[in-house]
Structure formats: C-alpha cells, structure tokens
C-alpha cells in the first residue's frame, strides 16, 4: 500500500525537524553546560562515585523513557514537508533533551570522580570527547579511504606518532586502530596464526598434527584466551608460560618450554607476553623474551594495552623497553593515555604483516583503478568494515597539548599508586601483596577481628566488604584473584586522584568493615 501525499509530507517534516541544525545548536550548548556542571560536581567529590541501583530497576526506568510520548516534531500548523523545528518549538526540544541527558549522568558510573579507583578504564581528558563528538555527529567512518579521508589520515598520523614513541623506527613499521584491546589482541594473534601456519586462513587447523599451541603469560588477559577459542586453536591449546616471583614471564623457563615444544614438532602460533598483566600490573622482561623467541623462530605478541603508554614517560619507559622488537604490540589509548573508549592500537614490526590477518575480496569496496590506496583502506586490515574515527580524540588532544600531557598523566597516577602502597605497608591492618610497578595495587584488609579466622571466612569478607563499599557510592574498587584467592585491587585511572583520596579509601574500608563484622 502506497503512502498518501499527506503522510509523506508529514514524514518529511518530522525528518527535517530531527536533522535541524538549529535544534542541534541549542541542545549542544545546553549539553556542554550540563557536562561541565557534572564534572565540577564529580571532581569536587560532591557526588557518589557509583550511583548504585539494582539492574531491573534501571532497565524499567530506562524503558519508561522509550514509552514517553514523542515531541510533536514537524507537526506545527502551516509547516510544509521541507520545514524544520519552529523557533517556538526549540525550547521544548532542549528541555526534553536536557532531561534525558541529566538522567544519563545521574544514573551512571562517575569515572571522573577522584575516588574511582576501579577497573582499567580512565577518566578521559574531557576535550577528547568533543573531538569524538565531531566524528559522531558527522559520522566520519572508515573502511576505504574515500569514505573517510581525514579520519584515515588522522589514524595514520596517530599510529605513526605513537609507534615511534614505543620505539619503532619511523617508516619501518605499520599499525592500525581498532575497537578495543580484545579486537587488537585477536587481530595480532590471527596474523601470527596465518604467518606461522601458512594455509590456515583457507584450510583451517584441522589438518595440523600435532595441534598448534599458543604460549601465553599465565596471568594473560582473558581476551587472549578468547582469541585462542575464536582462532580455532581451542583454549586447551594454551600453554601457560611460567612466572617468576614478581608474576612476570620467566625467560629461562620460557626457553625450556619452547625447546620442548620444538623437540616434539609442536607448531607454535606465538608467545603472548604482557606489559602489563592485569592482576598486579607485572611487566614482562620483553628484551629477554625477544631473544628467546628469536632463537626459536617464534612470533612474539605483546599485550601492552594497559602499559604501553609508559613509553611517553622518561621515568618509566624502561618498563616497556624492547617493544619495538616484538612482532605485534597492542597499546590502548583508552587506558593510560586517558582517552575515551574505544581506541586501541595494534603495531606490526614488519609492515607486510598488516594485511596478514584477513584475506578477502570485496569488489564493491576496493577500487582496482587505484591499488595504491589499499595501504590506506582500513577494511583490509581490520575485523571491522565500517569503523568510527576512533583516533580523533588522541589526535585532537596531542594537537592541543602535545605528548607531554600523556607523560604527565602516566607519572602522576603511578606516583599516587606508589604512595598508596607505602600507606598500606605502614598500616598494621592492611596487607599489600606486591610492590607496584605501575598504577595497580592489590592488597587485603586484615581487621584484628579476623586475624585468626579460617581462610574461607577471611576471603569471603574481602568480597563482601568491596560490595558494601561500592554500593555505598563512597569509592569504587574491584576484586581480583591471586593464587586462587580473592584480593582487593585499585587502579589509579584518574590523574586527579590524590594521596588523600587513597587514605580515605583505607578509612572507608575500616568503617565499612566494622559494620560488616557487627
């Protein structure tokens, strides 16, 4: 059934109203003011860190907004099919927009709160979000160069600049930006699989005997395990690399592992090292691991999603020395470069490996008349086809403030973690579990009342205490496991967090612990 002329005119009027630049202008001004007020309140510690509510309640309230009567866009008297929002209508639109925006801010996690010391997700530089906004409003997408020429140019510039900071020699390496460290790890390990087992993209791994293995840091991020499953290796084919007493990969024992695998003719996809591993922030000794892998002809992949940004700091860059000799390296800008999620970078020491991960033909995308553009077509190197302009935030902040701001944020957050560790050492009722190498500190709270408690009771107390603290909204920290036992863990992901905030978390744990033990 065809639509009537009147129905089409009404539809066009509503569409014109939704696309009206005047509405965007008014709502945008209000949005920036609302966000600025929100950040002032959060950064001044006048709000909760986490606005905890049970999930069913929030889903119900969120659904209520979807059921609200829509604004009468394009339905004013006398408007024709090309009309936009009338001047009289704009205040109503802005008021509803502001209500919805404030609801988002009132219900969420406040990463910019200095007492957020939880997951490895940062309080991003606020200006970076505005550069992302430009990309989102105009939908600067990538897959082929002609669809996103400036987004592509920005990505290449950022990859080159960050790669050189990591130690790669200008003009000798390649890289890409992708949606998160999980995809970056998957893509790097897929390239390793395809290079190590030449016909695996087309033939799979079923013909391999014995079955190939991935040698991975025993504390590797779960995305590495996921990659093994997705790549057809199977998680049972992960060989855990032995760790030293600082939970770093032990190069001598890695040597023995690779020698044993080679002696049995077991195909090795790669060694996956960490800089740093998630539980306590342990940095593997990459230069020594490089030597071992090169002796045995094994691809080295380094997950430096969290710690790669230490390369910006003259004081801490030694912790990531040697990355430029790995075959693939992951570095997330949405971790210690303090950018909005998601913006992960994958680097290839050999630029030819940039197109080793994927082999496909898409004639509607790639123009045979300009084959030289393939170097700039992101679709040949990424799992994503359509991809947002994820590098705008990094590029914009670097353009405004230079690379020093990244060094500053790395050094301030690591120094704050170090001061927190020293507070834990000095306190009789806390047990730090390692000396921190970066901004991650794992510990336990040991109140006197539980000194002689059974281990199971003590371990359960750690989890219950964390739950009580985060639901209170005072602080946000996470739990982890070390040697199979639960621990408390903080990661300083806000450069505005101070040592006083960290003293406060100890007082909060004591107070909430007393409540729990009553």
| Same domain, yes or no: 181 and 318 | yes
End residue of a domain, out of 401, 435, 451: 401
The verdict on residue 501 lying in a domain is: yes
The verdict on residue 134 lying in a domain is: no
pLDDT at 88: 77
Least Cα distance to 266 among 213, 315, 310, 229 occurs for: 213
| Same domain, yes or no: 247 and 334 | yes
Which pairs with CB-CB distance under 8 Å and at least 24 residues apart come from 8-15?
Answer: 8/81, 9/80, 9/81, 10/74, 10/75, 10/81, 12/74, 12/81, 12/82, 13/73, 13/74, 13/75, 13/79, 13/80, 13/81, 13/82, 13/83, 14/73, 14/74, 14/75, 15/74
User: SS3 for 462?
Assistant: helix
pLDDT in 10s for each residue of the chain, 518 residues: 567 888 888 888 888 888 999 999 999 999 999 999 999 999 999 999 999 999 999 999 999 999 999 887 766 544 444 456 777 788 888 899 999 999 999 999 999 999 999 999 999 999 999 999 999 999 999 988 888 999 999 999 999 999 999 999 999 999 999 999 999 999 999 999 999 998 888 888 888 889 999 999 999 999 999 999 999 999 999 999 999 999 999 999 999 999 999 999 999 999 999 999 999 999 999 999 999 999 999 999 999 999 999 999 999 999 999 999 999 999 999 999 999 999 999 999 999 999 888 875 555 455 555 566 678 888 888 889 899 999 999 999 999 999 999 999 999 999 999 999 999 999 999 999 999 999 999 999 999 999 889 999 999 999 999 999 999 999 999 999 999 999 999 999 999 999 999 999 999 999 999 999 98
The verdict on residue 199 lying in a domain is: yes
- β-bridge pairing 268-274 and 238-241: unpaired
- β-bridge pairing 213-217 and 268-274: parallel
Give the residue ranges of DSSP H helices in 264-375: 286-295
How many angstroms separate the CA atoms of 355 and 374, rounded? Answer: 10
How many angstroms separate the CA atoms of 289 and 310, rounded? Answer: 19
Beta-bridge partner residues of 445: 430
- β-bridge pairing 387-388 and 141-142: antiparallel
User: SS3 for 72?
Assistant: coil
How many angstroms separate the CA atoms of 503 and 251, rounded? Answer: 38
Beta-bridge partner residues of 268: 213
Alpha carbon distances (Å) from 443 to 353, 408, 422, 468: 41, 26, 12, 17
Query: How many C-alpha atoms does 6 have within 13 Å on its Cβ side?
Result: 2
| Same domain, yes or no: 157 and 98 | no
pLDDT at 369: 55
How many angstroms separate the CA atoms of 363 and 368, rounded? Answer: 8
pLDDT at 14: 84
| Same domain, yes or no: 380 and 411 | no
pLDDT at 7: 86
**Other residues' Cβ atoms within 10 Å of the Cβ of residue 6:** 9
| Same domain, yes or no: 393 and 432 | no
The residue whose two tokens read 């947002």 is 388
DSSP code per residue over 149-189: HHHHHHHHHHHHHHHHHHTPPTTS-EEEEESSHHHHHHHHH
The pair of structure tokens assigned to 300 is: 């080295």
| Same domain, yes or no: 456 and 328 | no
The residue whose two tokens read 């359509």 is 386
| Same domain, yes or no: 250 and 336 | yes
The pair of structure tokens assigned to 517 is: 């033990």
Helix and strand numbers, DSSP H then E, in the chain: 15, 13
End residue of a domain, out of 386, 401, 416: 401
- β-bridge pairing 300-303 and 268-274: parallel
Alpha carbon distances (Å) from 118 to 88, 439, 446, 466, 469: 46, 11, 20, 11, 12
CATH number at residue 472: 3.90.1150.170
The verdict on residue 71 lying in a domain is: yes
The verdict on residue 508 lying in a domain is: yes
How many angstroms separate the CA atoms of 145 and 156, rounded? Answer: 11
End residue of a domain, out of 58, 85, 110: 110
* Radius of gyration, alpha carbons of the chain: 26
How many angstroms separate the CA atoms of 380 and 358, rounded? Answer: 7
**Polymer length of the chain:** 518
The verdict on residue 143 lying in a domain is: no
How many angstroms separate the CA atoms of 199 and 206, rounded? Answer: 11
| Same domain, yes or no: 324 and 188 | yes
| Same domain, yes or no: 64 and 83 | yes
| Same domain, yes or no: 81 and 43 | yes
Q: Answer whether 281's CB lies under 8 Å from 436's CB.
A: yes
| Same domain, yes or no: 236 and 181 | yes
Stated as kind and residue range, the H or E segment containing 505 is helix 499-517
The residue whose two tokens read 């119900």 is 60
| Same domain, yes or no: 395 and 430 | no
Domain containing residue 105: 5-110
Q: How many domains does the chain have?
A: 3
Question: Cis link prior to 342 (omega < 30° from 0)?
Answer: yes
Q: Answer whether 119's CB lies under 8 Å from 112's CB.
A: no
17: Cα separation from own chain's centroid: 36
pLDDT at 71: 83
The pair of structure tokens assigned to 264 is: 């049995």
Q: Where are the beta strands (DSSP E) in 27-162?
A: 141-142
pLDDT at 312: 98
pLDDT at 82: 47
The pair of structure tokens assigned to 364 is: 């509607």
CATH number at residue 368: 3.40.640.10
The residue whose two tokens read 């949405």 is 334
The pair of structure tokens assigned to 433 is: 């579990």
User: SS3 for 104?
Assistant: helix
The verdict on residue 434 lying in a domain is: yes
The verdict on residue 346 lying in a domain is: yes
83: Cα separation from own chain's centroid: 42
């Amino acid at each position: 059934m065809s639509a009537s002329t009147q129905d089409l005119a009404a539809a066009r009027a509503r569409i014109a109203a939704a696309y009206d630049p005047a509405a965007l202008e008014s709502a945008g001004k209000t949005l920036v003011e609302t966000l600025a007020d929100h950040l002032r309140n959060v950064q001044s510690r006048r709000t909760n860190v986490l606005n905890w509510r049970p999930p069913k309640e929030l889903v119900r309230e969120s659904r209520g907004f979807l059921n609200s009567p829509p604004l009468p866009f394009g339905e004013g008297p006398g408007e024709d099919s090309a009309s936009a929002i009338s001047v009289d209508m704009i205040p109503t639109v802005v008021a509803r927009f502001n209500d919805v925006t404030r609801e988002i801010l009132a219900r969420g996690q406040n990463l910019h709160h200095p007492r957020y010391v939880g997951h490895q997700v940062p309080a991003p530089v606020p200006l970076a979000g505005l550069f992302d906004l430009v990309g989102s409003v105009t939908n600067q997408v990538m897959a082929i160069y002609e669809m996103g020429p400036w987004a592509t140019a920005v990505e290449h510039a950022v990859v080159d600049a960050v790669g050189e900071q990591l130690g790669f020699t200008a003009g000798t390496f390649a890289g890409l930006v992708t949606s998160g460290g999980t995809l970056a790890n998957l893509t790097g390990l897929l390239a390793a699989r395809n290079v190590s087992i030449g016909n695996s993209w087309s033939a799979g791994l079923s013909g391999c005997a014995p079955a190939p293995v991935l040698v991975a840091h025993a504390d590797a991020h779960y995305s590495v395990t996921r990659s093994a499953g997705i790549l057809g290796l199977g998680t049972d084919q992960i060989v855990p690399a032995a760790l030293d007493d600082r939970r770093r990969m032990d190069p001598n024992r890695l040597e023995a592992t690779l020698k044993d695998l080679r002696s049995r003719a077991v195909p090795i996809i790669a060694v996956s090292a960490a800089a740093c591993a998630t539980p306590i922030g342990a940095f593997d000794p990459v230069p020594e691991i490089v030597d071992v892998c090169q002796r045995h002809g094994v691809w080295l992949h380094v997950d430096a999603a969290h710690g790669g940004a230490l390369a910006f700091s003259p004081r801490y860059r030694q912790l990531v020395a040697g990355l430029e000799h790995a075959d693939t390296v992951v570095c997330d800008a949405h971790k210690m470069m303090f950018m909005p999620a998601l913006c992960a970078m994958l680097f290839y020491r050999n630029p030819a490996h940039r197109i080793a991960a994927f082999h496909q033909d898409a004639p509607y995308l790639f123009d045979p008349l300009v084959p030289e553009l393939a170097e700039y077509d992101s679709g040949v190197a990424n799992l994503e086809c359509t991809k947002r302009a994820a590098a705008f935030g990094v590029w914009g902040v670097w353009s405004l403030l230079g690379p020093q701001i990244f060094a500053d944020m790395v050094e301030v957050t690591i120094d704050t973690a170090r001061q927190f560790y020293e507070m834990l050492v000095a306190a009789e009722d806390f047990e730090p579990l390692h000396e921190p190498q970066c901004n991650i500190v794992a510990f336990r709270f040991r109140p006197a009342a539980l000194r002689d408690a059974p281990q199971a009771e003590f371990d359960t107390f750690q989890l219950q205490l964390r739950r009580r603290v985060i639901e209170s909204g005072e602080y946000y920290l996470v739990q982890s496991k070390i040697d199979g036992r639960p621990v408390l863990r903080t990661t300083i992901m806000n450069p505005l967090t101070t040592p006083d905030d960290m003293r406060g978390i100890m007082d909060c744990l004591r107070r909430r612990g007393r409540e729990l033990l009553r």
